[in-house]
Amino acid sequence: MSTTDSAPLLQAEELTKIFRSATEDVVVLERLNLEVYEGERVALIGESGTGKTTLLHLLAALDTPTRGELYFKRQKLSDFSLAERAAYRNLQVGFVWQMHYLLPEFTALENVMLPQLIAGTKFEEAETQAKTLLAEVEMDKAWQRRAGELSGGEQQRVALARALANRPALLLADEPTGNLDRRTAGLVMDLLERLHKAHRLTSVVATHNLELAQRASRTLRLENGQLVETVVPRFY
């Protein structure tokens, strides 16, 4: 499928997500529509509990919608086989979460190599690529250190390198600056911006950080299960 046409890279159509429990149904997303075009940097904002993480999980094919459809390069995610879903998650999408989820006992280098080895990349090639990425996030001096020994900001930089290890088209990030102090958050924001350009990414970033949202090419607010285009005022 061509990616140079004018179709969105990612599209949600009438997306509904309901969490059902014994006592109640929680309708989190309700007939939500979204189009994300190649190269866009979309910020997802909205009060706590409005469904930002839920939406990112659906976009990442980590969860399935109750109703509605998701398309990646015009292909329906619901048509993907289990193997195709796994390939989509490993090859097309890079994730960065508030908690980095690095393997603490493994070195920074090994953490960045691992998704590549899972995808079948040769060891030497994975190692070279991991070192290049760690240099890009300015962690090349620390690639032999165990992830569990790194500071929060350092771990988040390694997590960014890992997210890009398989050269994904799409970067999804959930509160990537959430656990960081203001200065470190600023560094991670700069890095996100640099990597977005250098790797020709399309990014969707959920955040409560208005400065991060303000830097996006487009900001969407999640409210009442739907997305509303919004403008974040410059406040600094």
Residues that bind Mg ion (CB under 5 A): 52-53
**Using rule CB under 6 A, residue 19 touches ligand ATP:** yes
Q: Which of 5, 14, 39, 49 binds ligand ATP (CB under 6 A)?
A: 49
How many helices, marked H, and strands, marked E, lie in the chain? 7, 10
CA–CA separation, 138 vs 104, rounded Å? 19
Question: x/- string (CB under 6 A) for ligand ATP, residues 139-178?
Answer: ----------------------------------------
**Residue 153 interacting partner from ligand ATP, Mg ion, none (CB closer than 5 to 8 Å by kind):** none
Q: Which parts of 54-156 are beta strand (E)?
A: 67-72, 75-76, 93-96
Task: Tell me the three-class secondary structure of 28-83, residue by residue.
Answer: EEEEEEEEECCCCEEEEECCCCCCHHHHHHHHCCCCCCCEEEEEECCEEHHHCCHH
Tell me which amino acid residue 42 is.
Answer: V
Query: If we measure between CA atoms, which residue out of 223, 205, 225 comes closest to residue 214?
Result: 205
Segment interacting with ligand ATP (CB under 6 A) among 44-52, 102-110, 131-139, 179-187: 44-52
The one among 11, 34, 41, 54 contacting ligand ATP by CB under 6 A: 54
Choices 32-40, 50-58, 103-111, 161-169; region in contact with ligand ATP by CB under 6 A = 50-58
- Token pair for residue 235? 């406040």
Residue type at position 198: A
Q: Of these partners, ligand ATP, Mg ion, none, which one is at the site of residue 104 (CB under 5 to 8 Å by kind)?
A: none
Is residue 219 at the binding interface for ligand ATP, with CB under 6 A as the rule? no
Residues binding ligand ATP (CB under 6 A):
19, 26, 28, 46, 48-54
